[in-house]
Amino acid sequence: MILARGSIFLNNFNRLKIIRSFGSARLLNTKKKSENFDEFKLVETNLPVLVKPTVVQKMKEIFGFQGDLRYPQPVLTMASLRLYLCIQYQVDYDRFFQKCQYPDVMYSFCLVTFLHVWLVSVALMQYGRSGLFVRKLLHKNMWKDIETREKKLNSPMNKENKAKAYSHLNDIFRAFLFGFDEGLLSDDTVLAGAIWRHMLEMAEIKDHALLAELCDYIRKNVHHLENISDGDILKNGIVSFVGLDQKELDHSKVRLKILERIKNREKEA
């Protein structure tokens, strides 16, 4: 796991801020108006429908009860931390920096992390409220890690500029979720556009094969993560990623190594 170096300072705080609801959290059936404009009908879709929880369900979660969750809250909380550690232990950040021609700075680390947190979030959303619960904690763990890394860099920014930087970074992450969800549900042309806008930041591309390679990386990992059992994702918090140069990966062969490394880290902590 690398400690990204450089400055987290973002030069442009004047980009358009996106304030709508984003990404994997809101995969809902939509309504389409019929020809006579008097009736509405549901569009057929395979996307999961998240039913708004009742007051009783919310109270159960607030007070730590299992409620409608598949596993107890402490188990899901530990799983969310392990899922984030899986990203840090397995993703080759240096390889992504080289592929995308990123400078070795904190912002580049954030972009690569955003991609893999989104990939895990997509896999989580097939598990309804349990997946949503873990997803929220996964995002919290990500921001805690980014904040910890930024403190180690001893950034010279004052509190006001630091708040603006984090606000802007949060806007980028939300746009990331929205853009990649749209790309995932569309063809590779839309997905490539999302990669160019959010990962490559609309930079000039000399070799367009990079877009195809990253599209393939996203598609194969979405498929790979969806085939991992709910026990490994929600209970054990263990996921694996297919590498840039790999066509497929047998999760059962690598899960024990990942779990052993995470447990060693937990003992050290």
H/E/C letters for each residue in the chain? Answer: CCCCCCCCCCCCCCCCCCCCCCHHHHCCCCEEECCCCCCEEECCCCCCCCCCCCHHHHHHHHCCCCCCCCCCHHHHHHHHHHHHHHHHHHCCHHHHHHHHCCCCCHHHHHHHHHHHHHHHHHHHHHHHHHHHHHHHHHHHHHHHHHHHHHHHCCCCCCHHHHHHHHHHHHHHHHHHHHHHHHHHCCCHHHHHHHHHHHHCCCCCCCCCHHHHHHHHHHHHHHHHHHCCCHHHHHHHCCCCCCCCCCCCCCHHHHHHHHHHHHHHHHHHC
What local confidence, expressed as pLDDT, does residue 28 receive?
A: 33
Phi, psi of 236 (to 5 degrees): -90, -25
What local confidence, expressed as pLDDT, does residue 141 receive?
A: 96
What local confidence, expressed as pLDDT, does residue 63 receive?
A: 58
C-alpha distances (whole Å) from 102 to each of 14, 97, 112, 115, 200 are 22, 5, 10, 14, 9
Mean pLDDT by 10 residues, the chain (269 residues): 38 33 36 36 42 64 64 90 94 93 91 96 90 93 93 80 89 93 92 92 81 94 93 92 91 86 78
What local confidence, expressed as pLDDT, does residue 50 receive?
A: 53
d(Cα 107, Cα 102) in Å, to the nearest integer? 9
d(Cα 257, Cα 156) in Å, to the nearest integer? 39
Residue type, 82: R
